[in-house]
Amino acid sequence: MRLNRMIWLLALIAVVGCTSKQKETPAEQATLSGLKKSNFQSVVNGDSTNLYVLTNANGVEVTLTNYGGRIVSVMVPDREGNLKDVVLGFDNIDDYVNIDNNFGATIGRYGNRIANGKITVAGVEYQLPQNNFGHTLHGGPEGFHKKVFQVEQPDGQTVVFSYLSADGEAGFPGNLDVKVTMTLTDDNAIDLQYEATTDKETVVNLTNHSYFNLNGDGNKTILDDSLTIHADAFTPVDNTFMTTGEISPVEGTPMDFRTPTVIGERIDNYDYVQLKNGDGYDHNWVLNTKGDVNQVAATVYSPETGIQLDVYTDEPGVQVYTGNFLDGTVTGKNGALYAKRNAICLETQKFPDSPNKADWPSPYLKPGEKYTSRCIYKFSVKK
């Protein structure tokens, strides 16, 4: 009897062991950039967040999160065929929420600055939150970069983010219905298409705030990269980073990037007041492309990796920002310390403070009209 009981117990242990093994959860597979979806699955202000993965026929991978409608990672090949992550960001949703940042975010309602946070719409003056030297920057401190977007993913290469910005949100008039379609194409481009409608006249200027580092290493500076901007003019700023309302020629100045120029070559020439005012490059260029999305507006090239980024847009301007406010206190993906000038942003847009500049391209949107904007970030390799 004792032997039979022992055999029975051993058999029971074996069954339990097999059952527990069957119930084990398989290890979560990370994305090519090393991200895990579980680290992005949370609830922020009552709305669910997640990580979305796009891949194309070439093995390029882009990941996105609906918190802030953000680009989280972009894995593209270098000249050796090795995939590099060429944007800054975090590897979890908590850091995006708790650390003040706009890495990869959809910016709205108004990208860039509005002087003194004041706009006049249909004869009514509105006061917006002032969050940057007395001005409103990127829609204020609670702009679209802090909102949870609704999501559709119709296929493996497209995500559609949508958000209804309520009348009065951040001081802006009108219920603004926003849709952002992000598509990874088979020619290694991220095609960003923005749409918006309103039920009351308002202003809108949407853009993307990806911080690019084509070296594929957020610890490294972008000062050795070359930059080309197809623009004969730019809009100068004062010492509060606010546009002065002038349009000035780039000819004979450190703002001239009409031919490929190393970013670090002139960036610290603070004898030139615009570089002093911007603490480097943080300016809007008036594009020669005149809204033709088929023409290259700007190009960045990393001699280290051979990766090239071409920017196309139907907008009249591009804000080029060289990460001047990064200070090494923020740790991002792969433990990288994001220090000053370790990234470059190329934000396609209407000109800064356009609501208060009647002769500049209009950012006003009325009921019955549709706002549209397009930006294409296309990656390639120079051998």
Catalytic residues: 209, 347
Q: For residue 302, what is the DSSP state?
A: -
Q: How far apart are CA 134 and CA 113, in angstroms?
A: 10
Q: What is the dihedral of CA 268, 270, 272, 277, to 10 degrees?
A: 110
Spatial distance between the Cα atoms of 138 and 206, rounded to a whole number of angstroms = 9
DSSP state of 148: B
What Cα–Cα distance (Å) separates residue 52 from each residue in 72, 147, 182, 295, 367? 9, 16, 11, 30, 33
Q: How far apart are CA 312 and CA 376, in angstroms?
A: 5
Cα atoms found within 13 Å of the Cα of residue 313, Cβ hemisphere only: 27
Q: For residue 44, which phi and psi values (nearest 5 degrees)?
A: -120, 120
Q: Looking at the DSSP assignment, which residues form a beta bridge with residue 363? A: none
Tell me how far apart the 2 most distant CA atoms of the chain are, in Å: 101
Distance CA 128, CA 115 (A): 10
Which whole-number Å values give the CA distances from 82 to 43, 73, 76, 220, in the listed order? Answer: 35, 15, 8, 18
Rounded-to-integer distance, Cα 351 and Cα 349, Å: 6
Q: Cα-flanking dihedrals φ and ψ of residue 253, to 5°?
A: -125, 165
**Got the DSSP string for 74-86?**
EEEE-TTS-EEE-
Query: How is 212-247 classified by DSSP, letter by letter?
Result: B-TTS-TTS-STTSEEEE-EEEEE-B-TTS-B-S--
d(CA 55, CA 279): 37
